[in-house]
């Protein structure tokens, strides 16, 4: 091997090592983006779950209030029809 060939090989290895370093930086950036995205997704999932629990509680309260109002209305209506 001549000195020119050795020099060319060193340049190729140098450029390959630079490309590999850039690829590694991109991978680290992408992994960070995925981690942030998954964290945001987890937070959103927790919020949706708490909203679903709140919705269930509100439906139970609304159903209970509806049943109470219905019973009271029936009692009032039966007194009005019996008294009249």
What is the Cα–Cα distance from 74 to 79, expressed in whole angstroms? 9
Predicted confidence (pLDDT) per residue in 3-51, tens digit:
888 888 888 888 898 999 999 999 999 999 999 998 888 888 999 999 9
Rg (CA), the chain: 36
Residue 84 is predicted with a pLDDT of 54
Residue 50 is predicted with a pLDDT of 95
What is the Cα–Cα distance from 35 to 27, expressed in whole angstroms? 12
Which is it for the CA torsion 58, 62, 68, 71, positive or negative? negative
pTM above the 0.85 mark?
A: no
What is the Cα–Cα distance from 74 to 65, expressed in whole angstroms? 14
């Amino acid at each position: 091997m001549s000195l020119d060939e050795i020099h060319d090989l060193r340049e190729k290895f140098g450029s390959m090592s630079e490309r590999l370093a850039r690829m590694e930086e991109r991978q680290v950036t992408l992994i960070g983006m995925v981690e942030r995205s998954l964290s945001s997704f987890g937070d959103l999932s927790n919020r949706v779950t708490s909203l679903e629990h709140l919705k269930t509680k509100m439906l139970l309260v609304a159903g209970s209030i509806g049943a109470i109002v219905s019973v009271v209305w029936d009692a009032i209506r039966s007194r009005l029809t019996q008294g009249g």
